[in-house]
Structure 1
Amino acid sequence: MSPPNATILGLETSCDETAAAIGRGPDQIASGVVYSQHDVHARFSGVVPELAARRHMETIEVVVAAAMRKAGITWPDLHAVAVTRGPGLAGALLVGVCFGKALAYALRIPLIGVNHLEGHLASAWIDEPDFPTPCVGLVVSGGHTHLYLVAAPGMYQLIGKTLDDAAGEAFDKAATMLGLGFPGGPAIDRIARPGNPQAIRFPRPYLKQGSLDFSFSGLKTALLYFLRDQASAKQPKSVADIAASYQEAIVDVLVEKAFRAVRRYRVGSLSVVGGVSANSRLREALVSRSRSAGIRLALPPTIYCTDNAVMIAAAAQQAYARGEFASWDLETDTELPLPVNVFPQAQKHRAMVAGRR
């Protein structure tokens, strides 16, 4: 019989953070350690996959040892090892999966493969274990901007996604254009604070169609053209005003689409997770809108918004309770989707949308 609160080692190496965490239940975190590679990739204005994989190999043992030490446990205390198997960078994922496989095999304990996106969604329950479902979950990060109808942990239906660039990528590219460095999201958040978000009216892409999908490539192009014209302007706008106005356009789209989904699927709760959910202006707008709409909002603490292993351990606790274990031939998948579960609400909406075409 499974222990009610299994002690699980979670590993996260999908991109440029090497992370390990010890979880003793969905909301009981014994430790969490993250080694960031931002200094490695900053001079390239983006993540270099080969460098990321090499740094994971150099640091994963140290990070795991630190997580074990902080939790005050030894190998025999573990009930399972959980690894991010996708989506993400191929080489980076492989480091974590190979390490996790070898460790679980040596300890003769179960191996759990976790979808990185499910890890982000699970972060909603870390500080709020009673957060209700069904709910709408918005995953917004450097590589993903997806809306899900969440019936329960492990039961998801994709109801909206980006058609081109993710919101996090839009922030990163804008930061590069503005000379703010990498990673772009925190840089824009920081410099936008004293700026006027109404100084420039950037487009709100794909907002009026009534769709739940996203598109940010046009917004990036609008910024590029604005900066080109700005070079010859008699009264150029400040970088703070440009950043604040650009950020406001992204925030408006994310907030409107999220609450549109809440209304459409008639649910009373919304979780917003992923690296971009750490953005201070987005959090402010979400809190304000949720209060006025009477919707319960889950916003994980900012330390659990960016890639971390605490969320992987939390998702693994849910999988452990369901008895979902991986075989020893577990493989990585750079494009791994969340398992599709079709709910009556989602079926009805899709049929309605299809009838309009």
Structure 2
Amino acid sequence: MPVEQILSNARVVTAEREFMGSVLLRDGLIAAVEEGRSGLPQAQDLGGDYLLPGLIELHTDNLEKHMSPRPGVDWPSASAVLTHDAQIVAAGITTVFDALSIGDVNPRGKRMLQLPAMLDAIARAEAAGHTRAEHRLHLRCELCHPDTLTLYRDLVEQPLVQLVSLMDHSPGQRQFAKEEKYREYYMGKYQLSTAEMDAFILEQMANSREFSDRHRQAIAADCHARGLSLASHDDATLAHVQESAGFGMSIAEFPTTLEAAKGSHALGLKVLMGAPNIVRGGSHSGNIAAAELAREGVLDILSSDYYPASLLQAALLLAEQDNGYDLPAAIATVSRIPAQAAGLGDRGEIRVGLRADLVQARRHEGQAVIQQVWRQAKRVF
């Protein structure tokens, strides 16, 4: 017999509109979406709360915080993945692309050493059915690192890899066009002295000149051959955008200027910005504010980046600001559009035939409060 559930008396948010209605779930899929309250006794009353599609997160390094909860502390990877997963699903995220950084520029960092353990722990937990959100992998390739191409070729064989982004965090361009911001960020993050910072800058600039262009070309070609979604990162100029489009990228992560965001949007790249940028009211790097891109109509996707709970909060704030985004359009930035950009045609909106990945949420004192989360009609929070 088919397994059915009815969620009723909900403020349903579809791709086109919001209305008080009911949603029928059958065998893990959305079987019906109707206006009005169900009269059937088995229907679950959601009390007028929002019923939203499960959120799609394309770029989060939240797992790293659980792998290294304090300086010098290495936490067991299997435990870190499950703790990360619990935080992700509690934020309403039902599909998450865990970002693994290839090519750590931190002279004292452990990202490179942690990579194999992180990847293995995610794959094992997912295969065993222990994760509540569905986990995919996003390889963030630091093009100016000498070992990036070799590591990419090793890690891309993992079947969970579905998204690759190409970035160059060397000073004087893109995210760090202002060298003083680069100094401020990395000296504070890595506790470098002035002399160490001077040497660090010279090394990163030399590596960028030697490796970035050839790594970008090689990795982009391989991604296309494998059918992987490809993202640019921190494009700042129209020339950057045109280069990204020329490499067939579908996502523009964190463009740093209005020119780059408009150019990306015009060339068909989906513009992704940080949800914390919306919640905080601006960029921590001093670059373009996501709210400004929304006012210009060129914000397509939000990502929680380093703070999972920011994702739904930012979407709800986006719908309240002075821009062209009503609630369905704002929710699409954290569900339907990221799903499409990543090639996931089976989820991302409340529509008959799609996966029953759903979130019940309400507003309380300006905050988004998650009540329940379903993944393929199974309650996971």
TM-score range, shorter chain: 0.3 to 0.5
Name the structure where strand makes up a greater proportion of residues: 2
Name the structure where helix makes up a greater proportion of residues: 1
TM superposition score normalised by structure 2:
0.31
